[in-house]
Structure 1
């Protein structure tokens, strides 16, 4: 009740000899309220007639002040470093850092950030419920690739080429070049494949460095470029999004947003070499430390290594052959994991530094030059041997 109404009640009781029951009837309230107002007046005078707050006096479920400060501090730290600093990201980091501690919910963290003026309203963003997600079932089932532009400190334009696993968001390779060509795409693909294995398929846009299928408006039967020919030799399926529909390659496009946000927060790179060092730092954090929201806040590397990898297979004479790529080392050898052990195949010093594909079926292995298609050697694998020489012709 208002101060003026409470004062009128007290005046009626004190100066008109009105009874409590009569006052309750006149002011349309209970006798209990009348007695409480009168008691407050006798104890505190007119100061006791001011309306009292009905809010609870204790908040047993209130987030501790230390946790509030920690949430704000973590937000500011992530934001300064160029990483995602929203409520979901903060919840994931807190869960990762303190698995045994009670962590505020995502909505509570959002309210903390809102009260601290750390939330920027974005009404134009689509609700998450409208997203239609698709994801490869296994690691290396599909790789996505694209390149994006960035500038050095002197405004020199640089292009950053990336290969990313569709299943796990794991960055297989990110490297900067002065210009991205078919040779660059081929080189980066083979480099990533030698380290992580070959994919079953790739998904890219229709840039000429990836495909010539839409060259010159698709009015001419253009010869496949060198990269397409390599994929055909390795029996890797090439998939491409519709023109002007970048959402098909949404994972690598979203990754570009995260990458550029991080690069913007760093001092500008002076040289191409320095930029590549920065990209290596970014990839190390992104792959091995940063929880990813689309992976239920798991680390990309953990998801990438959690299940067996898919790989291309070639059907020959009714048998399926497993394929992997490698580069012949200085001593003329390539390495193959077979029967859970590393095996060394002697191809020959004459082929040192040659990019090759290794076809494996049971205990038979064939090494093929990826550029010419020449068979460099055939091998019969023995579980008791680590080094294998070529089969005699």
Structure 2
């Protein structure tokens, strides 16, 4: 791309060629346009060899780099990075290369940060984002242990918390301290990251269907018409009733590949945010207290909390900025 003080742009080079083509000397045309004769000859020569394409800028990268690290060594460095998660210093010691050279190799291959890789497999994570709200909504369920009345071990010592669990367990059951689980059903819009969650008692198909109907109404209230829903392969989502419920509303149901939670990564990351900033953000005295706090968290998340994928803005900003564009 031409710099701001360049004498010639693509349009100027075209004028140069046209004047030379008319039979005028290159030296005279160069003087008129305020450039040197070698520069004028260069563009005329390129035009004669390549035509219109020769008038455009080229990258300054050399055609050959004799001192570049051989491809076989680069491949070994990449394997050490993806298989063993080693850093530039350790890879350099193994391959006999400076750490700075290894770092340049990793940057060139797009694996200089471990966050770019899937930890179990070492594969590069392919990140994606849909173009408009409602084009894809991620849906998932997170299971959390219930909190007994009076609080769990985050409020009291562990022995007292176990006794408290036993006291709140149904008398017909054994004295084993089991108090059950809550199931947090969540839906996250792929483009805007607008989120909707509910704390429910199970993860059965009818519960999942009823949740989605309420979530769909939530998105519709924000002007989002849902086109596709992406879920994992949980039993409630594999049921025909769930798929039929989506189809009845004109929504396509998609499922992730087995054992590939990164495909559904936006709601998976939202589940982690739920745990850090709501479920375990502070000690709760009861399960009801934690459930009531969810509404405040969701309002903060959607309307006030900055999101790194949205340039530091909350999800609602994308809904407001794109209102009316996709209807």
Structure with the higher strand share, 1 or 2: 1
Structure with the higher helix share, 1 or 2: 2
TM-score by length of 1: 0.42
- Asked which structure has the greater CA Rg, the reply is 1
TM-score by length of 2: 0.50
